[in-house]
Amino acid sequence: MPISTSPRRAFRTLSRLLGALFLTGAVVSAPAIAADPAEHPVIKRKVSLPPSAELHYSIEAKQSGLQVNGEALVKWNNNGTKYIVTTETRAMMLGKILETSSEGDIDSYGLAPTRFVDKRFRREASTTTFNRETNAINFTQSAETYPLKGGEQDRASIIWQLIAVAHGNADKFTPGSEWLFFVAGPRDAEQWSFKVVGREKIKTKQGEINAVHVLRAPPPDDKGQKLDIWLAPSSDWYPARLRFTDPDGDFIEQTLDSVNKKPS
């Protein structure tokens, strides 16, 4: 379906789509004050990373009253000591609207990012650096810095770290359990909380999948975006569906079409 007959309205819709697609929410300028280390606990868990694969998703969305369709290709590579994950998202009639990449090492915490790049439609790329020599997280889009202590993630690696934790702690990944991660975006970082909702059956082009539903909800006093993830234990815990929901009811849903496993 077409996004809009008005280029101006299409661009506004695209801007909202980009804001939702990658967990970014609103970007707000902030003073260069380092995060309190007390709010950044070090959490080490058992992890089990999935094998390398290419995953193709179809995208359906409602943004500003308009229906938007698209597709996303996720390339995940894990060779046992290093990883890289890239995402390319396209919207109908507009082409490529978002490219992201996260790369780094694999250590005792799981994924240890060194660089996260976020490139959006008609914008310069932003880079978040995890400097292991200075033990600091730095950004090209802001002067913020955060201590690097172990286990920190970026907004591309976090899904794969969550998968690794779920796979490595399947007996504890039960309804009601909560899993905390410290996550850096293009401008700043914050602690995220994921809660396991339970097992649900969802429909995909690969058939019906018995998935584990995980929810990332904003704090009670925050009217931010909600993220629902359905992980597929029978398919190496790859994400079978992701749904981003705004407070006004607008949403973006990514549903898995195919998985092509690759040699690492």
Residue 234, pLDDT > 50, answer yes
Tokens of 179: 């899993």
DSSP string, the chain: --S-S-HHHHHHHHHHHHHHHTT----------PPPGGGS--------PPPPEEEEEEEEEEETTEEEEEEEEEEEEE-SSEEEEEEEEEETTTEEEEEEEEEEEEETTEEEEEEEEEEETTS--EEEEEETTTTEEEESS---EEE--S--EETTTHHHHHHHHHHHTTTT--TT-EEEEEEE-SS-EEEEEEEEEEEEEEEETTEEEEEEEEEE---TT----EEEEEEEGGGTTEEEEEEEE-TTS-EEEEEEEEEEE---
**Which contacts (CB < 8 Å, 24+ apart) does range 32-36 have?**
32/142, 32/143, 32/144, 32/145, 33/144, 34/144, 34/145, 34/146, 34/147, 35/144, 35/146, 35/147, 35/189
Q: Looking at residue 40, what is its pLDDT? A: 81
Per residue in 99-145, pLDDT tens?
Answer: 999 999 999 999 999 999 999 877 899 999 999 999 999 999 999 99
Q: Looking at residue 41, what is its pLDDT? A: 83
**Burial class of residue 44 (count of CB atoms within 10 Å of its CB; 0-12, 13-18, 19+):** exposed
In a domain, 117, yes or no: yes
Q: Looking at residue 27, what is its pLDDT? A: 30
The answer to whether 191 and 182 have CB atoms below 8 angstroms apart is yes
Amino acid at 259: V
Integer-rounded Cα radius of gyration of the chain: 18
**pLDDT mean over 173-188:** 95
- Which pTM does this prediction carry? 0.86
CA dist 194 and 174 (Å) reads 12
Q: What is the CATH number of the domain that holds 160?
A: 2.40.360
CA dist 228 and 211 (Å) reads 12
In a domain, 97, yes or no: yes
Q: Looking at residue 161, what is its pLDDT? A: 98
**pLDDT mean over 171-192:** 94
Per residue in 11-43, pLDDT tens?
Answer: 455 555 555 554 333 232 333 344 564 468 889
In a domain, 191, yes or no: yes
Number of domains in the chain: 1
In a domain, 242, yes or no: yes
In a domain, 37, yes or no: no
In a domain, 28, yes or no: no
In a domain, 33, yes or no: no
Tokens of 115: 């660089």
In a domain, 31, yes or no: no
Q: Looking at residue 220, what is its pLDDT? A: 67
Looking at every residue in the chain, the average pLDDT score rounds to 85
The domain of 247 spans 7-22+44-261
| Residue 47: closest CA among 163, 152, 164 | 164
Residue 3, pLDDT > 50, answer no
